[in-house]
Amino acid sequence: MASLKEICNGLPLNPLPPNRGRDPSVPHAPIRTPNLTAEEERLALRNALRYFPPSHHATLAPEFAQELQQYGHIYMYRFCPSFPLRAYPIDQYPCRTRQAAAIMLMIMNNLDPAVAQFPQELVTYGGNGQVFSNWAQFSLVMHYLSQMTEQQTLVMYSGHPMGLFPSLPSSPRAIITNGMVIPNYSSRDQYEKMFALGVSMYGQMTAGSYCYIGPQGIVHGTMLTVLNAGRRYLGTDDLRGRVFVTSGLGGMSGAQAKAAVIAGCVGVIAEVDEAPLIKRHKQGWLMEVTSSLDQCIKRIREVRSSKTPLSLGYHGNIVDLWERLLLEFERTGELLVDLGSDQTSLHNPFNGGYYPVPLSFHQANQLMSSDPARFRSSVKESLRRQIRAINKLADAGMFFWDYGNAFLLEAKRAGAEVEKGDGGATEFRYPSYVQHIMGDIFSLGFGPFRWVCTSGDPKDLAVTDDLAASVLEKICANVSDRIRQQYNDNIRWIREAGKHQMVVGSQARILYSDQRGRISIALAINQAIADGKVSAPVVISRDHHDVSGTDSPFRETSNVYDGSAFCADMAVQNFVGDAFRGATWVSLHNGGGVGWGEVINGGFGLVLDGSEDAANRASLMLSWDVSNGVARRCWSGNLNAFETIQRTMKENKQLQVTMPFPVQDEQVLDRALQG
């Protein structure tokens, strides 16, 4: 394929493109092991062939069967475009509406090899966060979007484009669902079968909703997490000379190195796969790389002493690093680590999300497919070893938290000592970062708001950066000290974002803001487009990991203690409410962050084009998108959320929220229950 126009022509059938197979120059997803029966293999093949006229079945069936048997899934590599995929400026897409062109731009960014973790398998991040299930779906979606009018909506079922359906100009241009499986059948094993059959898909969060902006999307959140961890655990904003140890440099986890340096500390990040280490080092996100534990320890001691910020990538297993840090402590009494976490993809522990010690990266990949049972056993033993070292270092004074990647959940399932004696269903020996660090921020209405300049022009991004910082500085003058601290962290971030070279892929930015800040920034950007100060539309969005977007009892809602942490009304209501309040597209997913069957989450994209209609949509939708979650957190008993929603009701007289009356005398309960 030679152009965007050809990509938008639909499936290339006459003639078929050559089958080039897998490109050895890019990383590839681990081999999947769906354990299909012979009849299920026939069904998977039949399902794949229904995208093509029967005249091509004899040609395509053997290669699709080979992909299924060799890789555990039919990706349709033959139809992977040779044309470079990236976020081209919005005016280059052959579309009838700019809303459709904006969606195309966001899809192309998710599949850009500079952004995507496994581009040929259509995986954006997290090891299995799919944009689509196969390349036929990509071709059909791009074709539908090129044909779409403002009276049609594209309906997406787990990567499959069901088609364009008549709708209103005020309706979303795309409705996306991923992994919406009947609850009793939402198990990992069932998922592997459904994905192999091509009938369901794990969209992670912003992979399947077309809203990923590269690792910048998590850099900011990680920086805030580390800063607030320092405030909570170490009692200081000054993290110079403090050491943060963690693991993972792939998709989302690739942000940890950059975030550590921006926060001012020493980040030591273990990664078993050399490819992402090299990628992050070339991007300038990782300052140093070593495969020597001796060198790791030497550099930690040097920079602790000099108090120099550093990101150090250790090419090896995180378990070896934790055990070496413990050995150094036992030998010398010197605790070389202050803060610890983990960002391996433990939502997907047995299919490439976690690599057990002592296997090498290649040995683990081989065992994963040749002997899945033995590989599972190795993962569990490795997790037990990792926790043993962490526990001893924590007893010595290191502070550890779960980063919402199902680390403690999977460690518990592996039999590691992570139980909290008097804890509830969502509590472990160590807190999740939501419970201790970020949860109160969500309850104040702060979360990851982001935007993409569709012109692709860095000058437009610089203008929007300045607008956002100015808006927050103006708001900051009349807020409480607690909220002012959150604003100041984000003003510092946005003022310094340019010099930190955060952009990978689309010209995008992220910051944490509350409802007032988000609306004010969106309206300021929309006005700048109308005035010609920004040259093209801007897409606003957010991470699903936000105030209202996600029901996840081991992450986003882990600090909800009224028994509703396992309920998903908030995320579903958010998806529906965003749809009829003005979003350009909306998505709802099973899985994301902590894994399939563990979470329901949703997201949106909204195109700002400088019009009054766009301003009205943004105001109405963003109000709901934040207040929904704050109201739910208020009802669960969170005092910060109680104060936040009360203040919001005073500012907006149309908002009326049911407020809880707390039990003030616990003896009332005791007497009632005692008869």
Per DSSP, 52 falls in state S
C-alpha distances in Å from residue 316, one per residue of 269, 388, 482, 535:
10, 18, 40, 46
If one compares 284 and 524, the residue with the highest pLDDT of the two is 524
Residue 39 in this model has a pLDDT that exceeds 80 = yes
pLDDT digits (tens, 9 = 90+) for 170-220: 999 999 999 999 999 999 889 999 999 999 999 999 999 999 998 787 888
pLDDT digits (tens, 9 = 90+) for 571-596: 999 999 999 999 999 999 998 878 88
Whether the link from the prior residue into 30 is cis, omega within 30° of 0, is: no
pLDDT digits (tens, 9 = 90+) for 381-412: 999 999 999 999 999 999 999 887 789 989 99
Residue 516 in this model has a pLDDT that exceeds 80 = yes
Residue 436 in this model has a pLDDT that exceeds 90 = no
pLDDT digits (tens, 9 = 90+) for 223-235: 888 988 998 899 9
Residue 487 in this model has a pLDDT that exceeds 60 = yes
484: burial class by Cβ within 10 Å (0-12, 13-18, 19+)? middle
For residue 2, the model assigns a pLDDT of 63
Region 19-33: what's the mean pLDDT? 92
CA–CA gap between residue 448 and residue 547 (Å, rounded): 9
> E strands of 68-173, at which residues?
123-125, 129-130, 152-157, 160-166
End-to-end Cα spacing for the chain: 77
Give phi and psi for 603, each to the nearest 5.
-145, -175
147: its two tokens: 């044909």
For residue 439, the model assigns a pLDDT of 62
CA–CA gap between residue 406 and residue 383 (Å, rounded): 12
Residue 539 in this model has a pLDDT that exceeds 70 = yes
Region 635-650: what's the mean pLDDT? 95
For residue 1, the model assigns a pLDDT of 45
Residue 253 in this model has a pLDDT that exceeds 70 = no
If one compares 424 and 92, the residue with the highest pLDDT of the two is 92
Closest CA to 448 of 608, 616, 591, 255: 255
C-alpha distances in Å from residue 385, one per residue of 381, 392, 399, 452:
6, 11, 18, 42
Q: Do residues 210 and 305 lie in contact, with contact meaning Cβ atoms separated by under 8 Å?
A: no
89: burial class by Cβ within 10 Å (0-12, 13-18, 19+)? middle
The amino acid at residue 415 is G
7-12, Cβ contacts within 8 angstroms, sequence gap of 24 or more: 7/81, 7/83, 7/139, 7/142, 8/93, 8/94, 8/142, 8/143, 8/145, 8/146, 9/143, 10/139, 10/140, 10/143, 11/51, 11/52, 11/79, 11/136, 11/139, 11/140, 11/143, 12/79, 12/139
Of 252-256, 365-369, 543-547, the range with the lowest mean pLDDT is: 252-256
Q: Do residues 432 and 558 lie in contact, with contact meaning Cβ atoms separated by under 8 Å?
A: yes
For residue 251, the model assigns a pLDDT of 63
Of 6-15, 69-78, 483-492, the range with the lowest mean pLDDT is: 483-492
Q: What is the mean pLDDT of the chain?
A: 93
Closest CA to 646 of 479, 441, 440, 444: 444
Q: Write down the pTM of the prediction.
A: 0.89
